[in-house]
């Protein structure tokens, strides 16, 4: 049994030695991470298969490939990001120079979820290492194979004082949250996000909260419907809908709904076959609790397509529910499964009003060929991030900040954002000693004499 107070203390002592701040140390650690992931690709894919029945294609695309790219991008830019940045000085500061120094926080705690158990544990770890921190990583207890592998890989390749993985569930999470760490990066649900923030407040520890919510996907009447159908089907049903930024529900313009839904049904068949329950590559639902929660939604509205499920394998086929209203149970909380409710709208202003009266979404997707429609939605609805004429893809760019707003989270990461999240920006003014301007002193004559 690990004593968490001692662990934090050991990491803090190690951090204070200053080694993790060396650029070469950070680069070496990232290179080591890169090669150990490359050398264990098959082990990672096997664990993901056992935990979630993820296909190798999905595991590579959404868990491994994306991480390898993020490490390469970080390595390429780290020397530039970590240099002190010279900034302007005001006229009254004449003679002085101003700099921003990025410094690591110290001992950081990363708590990650089960839905992309490898990627969502390692992505923040990259930022934490890049910025020069020590890390305690707590992966999800619901994906034991991946969590165990993470623990083994990290233990075998990094010293515990620098990075360590602590496996465990809620109790472990709470015990770690009780310790005073210097930064907490949490990815998970909104209710647990509140628990994390409350625990952090006791120590005044800053947090990033990457949370969830209901992400709308709008299909306007002028959209390229065939392409929209394909991109919605992929974004929604990859990982059986257990993606924080999956389109949670569709808002389809009433004029094109009858044309769009058959296209969506065809796109699903093209991706997963006519009997997805028999598709050995289709991701399962993580637990019986979530399976039961999801199947209870199947009573809502009218079943347009799908709707079959297998309690033995915990698979639910991609399902479209039509004639849904905001009062239905499926519209109360984030769905996080392969069920796609469809709502209709006629006026854009009414759609905007409906979304704006609910918690701010993590993502939003707009399918429309009209720049005015795109602009109106972007201008009037606040949400974490998203795509125009696509779904989910914004997540893969290291140039775009990724995070929520309001109920969907606090802070953003990816690319330089990950480095920034794990760095404190120290503002430093370097003053000249060659002269001393008198204006600031109450008695100017005396001040000039002192030089």
**How far is Cα 129 from Cα 19, in angstroms, rounded to an integer?**
12
Backbone phi and psi for residue 235, each to the nearest 5 degrees, phi listed first: -65, -35
Q: In this chain, which of 63, 334, 407, 420 binds ligand NAD, going by CB under 6 A?
A: 334
Residue 181: CB minimum distance to ligand NAD, A: 14
Nearest to ligand NAD by Cβ — which residue?
A: 212
Q: Considering beta carbons, is residue 211 or 252 the nearer one to ligand NAD?
A: 211
Q: In this chain, which of 195, 256, 352, 378 binds ligand NAD, going by CB under 6 A?
A: 195
Cβ atoms < 10 Å from Cβ of 443:
9
Does 41 interact with ligand NAD (rule: CB under 6 A)?
A: no
Q: Considering beta carbons, is residue 82 or 239 the nearer one to ligand NAD?
A: 239
Reply yes or no on whether 244 is catalytic: yes
Nearest 10 degrees: CA dihedral of 23, 29, 35, 40? Answer: -160
**How far is Cα 415 from Cα 222, in angstroms, rounded to an integer?**
34
Q: What is the DSSP letter of 210?
A: E
**How far is Cα 113 from Cα 332, in angstroms, rounded to an integer?**
21
Q: Considering beta carbons, is residue 355 or 362 the nearer one to ligand NAD?
A: 362
x/- binding map, residues 163-192, to ligand NAD, per CB under 6 A?
------xx--xx------------xxx--x
Query: Do β-strands 339-345 and 249-253 pair in parallel, antiparallel, or remain unpaired?
Result: parallel
Does 210 interact with ligand NAD (rule: CB under 6 A)?
A: yes
- Residue 81 contacts residue 422 (beta carbons within 8 Å): no
Residue 178: CB minimum distance to ligand NAD, A: 10
Residue 118: CB minimum distance to ligand NAD, A: 12
Burial status of residue 171 (CB atoms within 10 A of its CB: 0-12, 13-18, 19 or more): exposed
Residue 395: CB minimum distance to ligand NAD, A: 8
- # residues near ligand NAD by CB under 6 A: 27
Kindly give the residue spans of alpha helices, DSSP state H, lying in 40-107: 41-52, 56-59, 65-82
Residue 334: CB minimum distance to ligand NAD, A: 5
Residue 243 has which token pair?
Answer: 């993606």
Q: In this chain, which of 34, 211, 240, 343 binds ligand NAD, going by CB under 6 A?
A: 211
Span interacting with ligand NAD, options 67-75, 208-216, 261-269, 310-318, rule CB under 6 A = 208-216
Residue 342: CB minimum distance to ligand NAD, A: 21
Reply yes or no on whether 288 is catalytic: no
Does 141 interact with ligand NAD (rule: CB under 6 A)?
A: yes
- Residue 245 contacts residue 306 (beta carbons within 8 Å): no
Coil, strand or helix: which one is 274? coil
Q: Considering beta carbons, is residue 161 or 210 the nearer one to ligand NAD?
A: 210
Residue 316 has which token pair?
Answer: 């639910």
Does 231 interact with ligand NAD (rule: CB under 6 A)?
A: no
Residue 297: CB minimum distance to ligand NAD, A: 16
Contacting ligand NAD within 62-121 (CB under 6 A): 111-115, 120
Q: In this chain, which of 73, 118, 297, 336 binds ligand NAD, going by CB under 6 A?
A: 336
Which of 70, 134, 217, 244 is labelled catalytic?
244
- Residue 388 contacts residue 227 (beta carbons within 8 Å): no
Q: What is the DSSP letter of 75?
A: H
Residue 427: CB minimum distance to ligand NAD, A: 30
Residue 167 has which token pair?
Answer: 């496996």
- Residue 365 contacts residue 377 (beta carbons within 8 Å): no
Q: Considering beta carbons, is residue 195 or 256 the nearer one to ligand NAD?
A: 195
Phi-psi region of 168 (alpha: psi -120 to 50; beta: other; left: phi over 0): left
Does 53 interact with ligand NAD (rule: CB under 6 A)?
A: no
Does 362 interact with ligand NAD (rule: CB under 6 A)?
A: yes
Does 248 interact with ligand NAD (rule: CB under 6 A)?
A: no
Question: Which element (helix H / strand E) includes 106?
Answer: none
- Residue 174 contacts residue 192 (beta carbons within 8 Å): no
Q: Considering beta carbons, is residue 245 or 373 the nearer one to ligand NAD?
A: 245
Which of 210, 317, 334, 387 is labelled catalytic?
210
Q: In this chain, which of 132, 409, 415, 417 binds ligand NAD, going by CB under 6 A?
A: 409
With a CB cutoff of 8 Å and minimum separation 6, the contacts of 245 are 215, 235, 362, 363, 386, 391, 392, 394, 395
**How far is Cα 164 from Cα 152, in angstroms, rounded to an integer?**
10
Kindly list the residues in this chain that would bind ligand NAD in the complex (CB under 6 A).
Answer: 111-115, 120, 138, 140-141, 169-170, 173-174, 187-189, 192, 195, 210-212, 244, 334, 336, 362, 404, 409
Catalytically annotated residues: 210, 244
């Amino acid at each position: 049994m690990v004593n968490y107070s001692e662990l934090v203390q050991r990491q803090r002592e190690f951090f204070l030695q200053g080694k993790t701040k060396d650029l070469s140390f950070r680069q070496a650690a990232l290179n080591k991470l890169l090669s150990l992931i490359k050398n264990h690709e098959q082990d990672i894919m096997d664990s993901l298969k056992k935990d979630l029945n993820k296909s190798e294609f999905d595991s590579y695309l959404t868990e491994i490939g994306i991480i390898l790219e993020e490490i390469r991008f970080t390595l390429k830019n780290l020397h530039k990001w970590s240099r002190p940045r010279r900034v302007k000085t005001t006229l009254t500061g004449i003679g002085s120079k101003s700099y921003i120094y990025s410094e690591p926080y110290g001992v950081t705690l990363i708590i990650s979820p089960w839905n992309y158990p490898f990627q969502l544990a390692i992505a923040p770890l990259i930022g934490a290492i890049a910025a020069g921190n020590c890390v305690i990583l707590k992966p999800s207890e619901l994906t034991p194979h991946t969590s165990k592998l993470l623990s083994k890989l990290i233990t075998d390749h990094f010293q515990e004082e620098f990075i360590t993985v602590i496996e465990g569930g809620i109790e472990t999470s709470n015990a770690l949250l009780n310790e005073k760490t210097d930064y907490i990066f949490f990815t998970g649900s909104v209710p647990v996000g509140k628990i994390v923030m409350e625990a952090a407040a006791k120590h005044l520890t800053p947090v990033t909260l990457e949370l969830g919510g209901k992400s709308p996907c709008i299909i306007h009447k002028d959209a390229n419907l065939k392409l929209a159908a394909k991109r919605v089907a992929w974004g929604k049903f990859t990982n059986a809908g257990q993606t924080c930024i999956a389109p949670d529900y569709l808002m389809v313009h009433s004029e094109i709904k009858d044309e769009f839904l058959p296209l969506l049904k065809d796109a699903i068949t093209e991706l997963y076959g006519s009997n997805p329950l028999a598709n050995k590559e289709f991701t399962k639902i993580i637990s019986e609790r979530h399976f039961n929660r999801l199947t209870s939604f199947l009573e809502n509205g009218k079943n347009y397509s799908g709707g079959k499920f297998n309690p033995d394998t915990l698979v639910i086929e991609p399902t479209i529910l039509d004639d849904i209203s905001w009062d239905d149970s499926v519209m109360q909380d984030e769905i996080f499964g392969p069920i796609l409710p469809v709502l209709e709208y006629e006026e854009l202003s009414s759609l905007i009003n409906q979304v704006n009266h609910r918690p701010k979404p993590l993502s939003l997707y707009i399918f429309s060929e009209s720049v005015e429609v795109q602009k109106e939605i972007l201008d009037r609805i606040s949400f974490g991030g998203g795509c125009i004429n696509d779904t989910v893809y914004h997540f893969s760019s290291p140039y775009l900040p990724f995070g929520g707003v309001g109920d969907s989270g606090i802070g953003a990461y990816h690319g330089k954002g990950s480095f920034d999240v794990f760095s404190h920006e120290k503002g430093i003014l370097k003053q000249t000693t060659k002269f001393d301007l008198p204006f600031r002193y109450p008695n100017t004559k005396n001040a000039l004499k002192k030089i």
